[in-house]
Structure 1
Amino acid sequence: MEAMNDVRDEATWKRWRSVADLYHAVFTGLVLTAVTRRGTPDAAEFVFRIFRRQQQERFIAGLGKLGLSHLPPAVAAAQYHYLSNWIGGVSVEYMYENDRKAWIRYPPPRWIWRGTAICGIPGEVSRAMLRGWHANNGVALGNLRLGFVCTKQSVDGQDGLEGYYCEYDHDLEIDQRLVFARHLEAPPFDPAKAPALPVDSWPKSRLEKAYRNYAMEYVRTAAPVAVQLFGPDDAGYLLRLTGKLIGMQYYDEVAASFGMARGDATTFVEFFTALLAAQDDEFGIDKSAGSIAVQQKTWKLMDGVTDAHPACAELLRGLVEGLAAGCGRNIPVTMTAERNGARPFTWVIG
């Protein structure tokens, strides 16, 4: 029985990781779509707002969850970035220098700009990420002496993104909280000296779910930010287009992790409901009308997002349309939404 449970757990975790890969691609795609359709300044503002929002929602609470709240500010900030990114499968390094100076480094390949995507990310967009999160950690901690010094950026052709948190002897102005020192080099990384999660409170099952949720959180944040920044019509177009492009590109990869392949509408319904289950969404299937209707009863991705505009659902519409196109030619998908209803979406397939 225990062996059967282990096999079942491994299959579930494999699906969770595939969901993470899909949403990781969606997020990177959203940034690239903003770069190509709206230009670098708009894309940079988009990324800044995403990371500032995540920082305000996640940083302080995350310090507590990771057991870091008692550490000196520079050390706590660096260890937070090391552990939280490690949980999400990001390649990251941490180097302690002293209580007022601690390094983090993201060596190649960069997780966030996966594969060839890094070639389409301007330096301004990468800097916006640092402005949004790293430069604001001192403010969040109530310590205006804490800033971030960036020494390298991958998108500028350097061998990774790296820098250090520094607690100065004086309060920092806004433009001093992120500075660049390209002439400096991070010290070597020693894994034996890096922080580790307590095994008792972070078992394998929790780590696997956190790995999945890490990637999904980026999309959960990005969709409402896009709508608030660009407006419902423009954002809805960008969200749907990105979702469709990524769905078409990633169907084969995700389906393979589910033990499925390409096929017809029936195949796609089987795949789509498996995807919903892997996202912890509830659903029902109705075949009474001569076609197959999947009634998606929850959309956990947007649960609790108080400013989620209906246009955010265009991302989901596009993603499902793209996945259907990847599954097989001429698989029609129609989505209807019931606002304030028990079933947020009904999908008619085939």
Structure 2
Amino acid sequence: MGGTLEAAEASPLRAWRGVADLYHSMFTGLILTLVSRRGTADAAEFVFRVFRRQQQERFVAGLAKLGLDHLPPAVAAAQYHYLSNWIGGVHVEYIYETDRKAWIRYPPPRWIWRGTAICGVPGEVSKAMLRGWHANNGVALGNLRLGFVCTKQSVDGQDGLEGYYYEADDVLEPDQRLQFARHLEAPLFDPAAAPALPVESWPKSRLEKAHRNYAMEYVRTAAPVAVQLFGPLDGGYLLHLTGKLIGMQCYDDLAPALGTTGRDAAGFAALLQALLAAQGDDGELYDIGGGYEVRQSGWRLMGDVADAHPACVRVLAGLIEGLAAGCGRRISVSLASGPPAAPLLWTVR
């Protein structure tokens, strides 16, 4: 019979925050893996494709969801970045200048390059993010006069990533939709003048779950992009390697968030089941004598991704293997699986 091993109590909010931190680290780690093992050009191309894909999937629908689709294009784009990133727990500022010019600023510490990771990110990789998303908002809105001017990049040693959306008098050519003006600086941020979410429809529990989903969404996008860009063998290897490295580094932070304490096979099986629940998956746990099985009914993160290759599951396999190594050196975990949406069977010994 399926069951649940005993574990310390962990609140859903704390568990969601732990999952958010884990997937946040996974995405940042994947970029650093590409920089160190495939070089700046491949890492930049990967970042461009990830952010362009997210922009095409999320931006226009997100404007309507946040109630911004009635605003002037430059203002709507800047407010979207402010609110959507704020929901995800990102340090972000918004400054209105005119109906045709509005600033967005990501002050330090940068969410995406948390801690020492920022030292390993080349400027071209940061620019690729802007090319992938910010420079394409006008295209998405059907307004080819809308562009973005970047005035600072934190990875270049400046005090944040900042720039402004502007609506030009004439249509912008593709190479004009992202420009740089390092001699300019954003006005000071006034929190009282910034847009805010309606409190009644965004209670703490909804915000915490959205915070978790924000981080997980990056891995949901990144895994198929890595496989499509580098192929199933190389892409799968890079996903697995990064997952294992991140899992090993994050176990000590994740276990308390999930309310698990044991550093043996039973303790890790309990952590695995708790992790699956916290990330929105179902996992039944079985004592099989000499070990445990966790039967994961499906992988919701990739369940509706049309181009998810079976190699995408290697990011999850690596992550779980790394967590097992962090839990105890004699703990082994193996995965039997089909395509990303099919049931997954984990064996822990």
Q: TM-score range by the shorter chain?
A: over 0.9
Match of 1:347 in 2: 346
What's the offset of the Cα at 1:303?
1.9
What are the equivalent positions in structure 2 for 1:8-47 lying under 5 Å apart?
11-47=11-47
**Aligned partner of residue 97 in structure 1, secondary structure:** strand
1: CA distance, partners of 2:335 / 2:164: 47
What's the offset of the Cα at 1:286?
2.5
Query: Which deviations, in whole Å up to 9, do the C-alpha atoms of 1:207-237 show, x marking residues without a partner?
Result: 1110100000000000000000000000010
Q: What is the letter of the counterpart of residue 214 of structure 2?
A: Y
Match of 2:5 in 1: none
Structure 2 length as normaliser, TM-score? 0.96
Q: What is the letter of the counterpart of residue 329 of structure 2?
A: R
Match of 1:94 in 2: 94
Match of 1:166 in 2: 166
Aligned CA distance change for structure 1 residues 339 and 44 (closer, same or farther; 3 Å): closer
Q: What is the letter of the counterpart of residue 239 of structure 1?
A: L
**Aligned partner of residue 347 in structure 1, secondary structure:** strand
What's the offset of the Cα at 1:256?
1.6
Match of 2:313 in 1: 313
The answer as to whether partners of 2:312 and 2:340 remain within 8 angstroms in 1 is no
Query: Which deviations, in whole Å up to 9, do the C-alpha atoms of 1:25-59 show, x marking residues without a partner?
Result: 00000000010110000000000000000000000
The answer as to whether partners of 1:261 and 1:327 remain within 8 angstroms in 2 is no
The answer as to whether partners of 1:147 and 1:178 remain within 8 angstroms in 2 is yes
Structure 2 gaps of 5+ residues are 1-8
Aligned CA distance change for structure 1 residues 134 and 349 (closer, same or farther; 3 Å): same
Structure 1 gaps of 5+ residues are 1-8
**Aligned partner of residue 326 in structure 2, secondary structure:** helix
Query: Which deviations, in whole Å up to 9, do the C-alpha atoms of 1:121-180 show, x marking residues without a partner?
Result: 000000000000000000000000000000000000000000000000000000000000
The answer as to whether partners of 2:43 and 2:125 remain within 8 angstroms in 1 is yes
2: CA distance, partners of 1:60 / 1:201: 21
The answer as to whether partners of 2:19 and 2:275 remain within 8 angstroms in 1 is yes
Match of 1:254 in 2: 254
Aligned CA distance change for structure 1 residues 335 and 10 (closer, same or farther; 3 Å): closer
Structure 1 length as normaliser, TM-score? 0.95
Match of 2:176 in 1: 176
Q: What is the letter of the counterpart of residue 343 of structure 2?
A: P
Higher relative contact order (CA 8 A, sep 6+): 2
Q: CA RMSD in A?
A: 1.4
Match of 2:58 in 1: 58
What's the offset of the Cα at 1:259?
2.8
2: CA distance, partners of 1:288 / 1:262: 18
Match of 1:4 in 2: none
Q: What is the letter of the counterpart of residue 49 of structure 1?
A: R
Match of 2:132 in 1: 132
**Aligned partner of residue 322 in structure 2, secondary structure:** helix
